[in-house]
Amino acid sequence: MKKIDLIFILLLVVVLSVFWLPTIDIPYWWDSAGYVVHTARQFLETNFNPLVPSDEYTDFAHPPFFVALLAASWKIFGESLLVSHFLNFIFAFLVLFYTYLLGKELIKDKITGSLVGFFAGVVLLLTPVFLAQLGIIYVEIPAAAFAVMTVYYALKKNLLGYLISGILLVLTKEIAIFVILIILAVIFLNKISLWLRKKEKVDLVGLVKTIFIWATPLYILFLWFLYHKIISGWWLVIPGRELGGGVSWGRIAAVSKFLFLEQWRWILTFFIVFSGFFMVSKRDLRENLLNFKILLIVLILIGTALIFGLTEFLHRYIILGLPFFFLLFFYCLALFFVTKSVRKKVGVFLGITLILFLFFATSWDDHRQIKSWHFPPLEENLEYLDVIDIGKEMASFVEENYPEAVVYTGFPSHYMLGEPFQHHISKPVEVYDCKDYQEGDKIDLIVFHFLSPSEINCLKMIKELRFLPEKIFAKNGKKMEIYKNPNL
């Protein structure tokens, strides 16, 4: 590794640390609390046998790699927020590091490639949805890291590196299998192209053998589903739970809109499209876009929009495609400055990054007023921190003033009150889900908010039981309300 690489990597570590350090005491949030933390504790309690999450925590046959790694980290170092967040830091660094390396592979001039990879990594870090996940212990950042690693090793034709990263990719996030399928498709198309241009002799047996070997992550994922079926009795989705509901052009449009247009990404998308038309119109520049490396990047972006449009979508899912999006942007930008000096390129890239920083920063926290039912969860930016703050205040108030109370609420305030290992409360109170309430059950307090559909039951209970307002906890348009039994 050259000196310039070490400099860029050190800069990435420094920039990442600046944004990561404030996250080290953030409690677990949403699916991190509901699925990851519970499953990691389950693995510890069962000594990692079996490696299948309980049906109580997930409706899907999620592969276990990240959760098992988290549980192993707790077993070695003890469970703490610092240990959990440091694991997230490692994967965030891997995303940035391999984004940097992949940028170097896209352009022949290694200095320019280094700039493409470095600034793509920095802008990725500044993106509101990625920045939010930096403080949430979940699979999105690890999956993005393995996706970029897999593509990098595929382009380097490093079979061992590709197989390791590809297998870890599908064992982290099963739906990321589309990345493997796209790589296989590009390998096939590249071979066909070479044969048609008569640069290689036709070798169908060799092509089949290559595809078979490079498809190994698919076989491993199948073995995982088979193991899951043997242990749990079902394959992909728990019986009775629908996945996606079929083809939905509206959902595909929603995913595409968020991936390519929202949080100021429309600026980058416009430039990419403009660059594409411009390059295609110039014969001497056309080959810069019409190559299989760029085709692979473009197909992964299209695949990201399609796969989550066809299944299910939460805003955090697009993180899988974002490194490729920013690489494509800076690649297109670099093509306009190929013949310029290094100083000129650095100035342009740095200037563009600073401008994007100013735009992106305005979307880090929208301060939306949540006055009606809101779902999906607040994870596309840092607004979830508002909910964590008021949740901790609410839990502290109940713990101090009503430690013996029976509380009914929904998700996520349910775990904030009843599970100290989620780091919102020091001693648990007796808490139940509003959907489980039966007439005559003892009930002292109801905690209500608009952040989860399950809270509809709580609102109904407040009206029917005529509970009285006790305390409101609010911040930046989000609030949790405590209602008290009038006989308490």
pLDDT in tens, the chain (488 residues): 688 899 999 999 999 999 999 999 999 999 999 999 999 999 999 999 999 999 999 999 999 999 999 999 999 999 999 999 999 999 999 999 999 999 999 998 889 999 999 999 999 999 999 999 999 999 999 999 999 999 999 999 999 999 999 999 999 999 999 999 999 999 999 988 888 877 777 788 989 999 999 999 999 999 999 999 999 999 999 998 877 656 678 889 999 999 999 999 999 999 999 998 888 777 766 677 778 899 999 999 999 999 998 888 899 999 999 999 999 999 999 988 888 898 999 999 999 999 999 999 999 998 889 988 888 888 999 999 999 999 999 999 999 999 999 999 999 999 999 999 999 999 999 999 999 999 999 999 999 999 988 899 999 999 999 999 999 999 999 999 999 999 88
| Positive or negative torsion for Cα 226, 32, 482, 453 | negative
> 291: closest CA among 161, 107, 102?
107
The pair of three-digit structure tokens given for residue 403, joined into one six-digit string: 């430690």
* 85 vs 20: CA distance, rounded Å: 8
**Pairs from 347-354 (Cβ < 8 Å, separation ≥ 24):** 349/115, 349/119, 350/119, 352/119, 353/119, 353/122, 353/123, 353/126
Q: Tell me which DSSP letter residue 28 carries.
A: P
What's the pLDDT at 246? 64
Q: Tell me which DSSP letter residue 203 carries.
A: -
The pair of three-digit structure tokens given for residue 181, joined into one six-digit string: 């399928």
* 4 vs 248: CA distance, rounded Å: 47
3-state SS class at 152: helix
User: Which residue's structure tokens are 């192209």?
Assistant: 193
* 158 vs 160: CA distance, rounded Å: 6
The pTM of this model reads 0.95
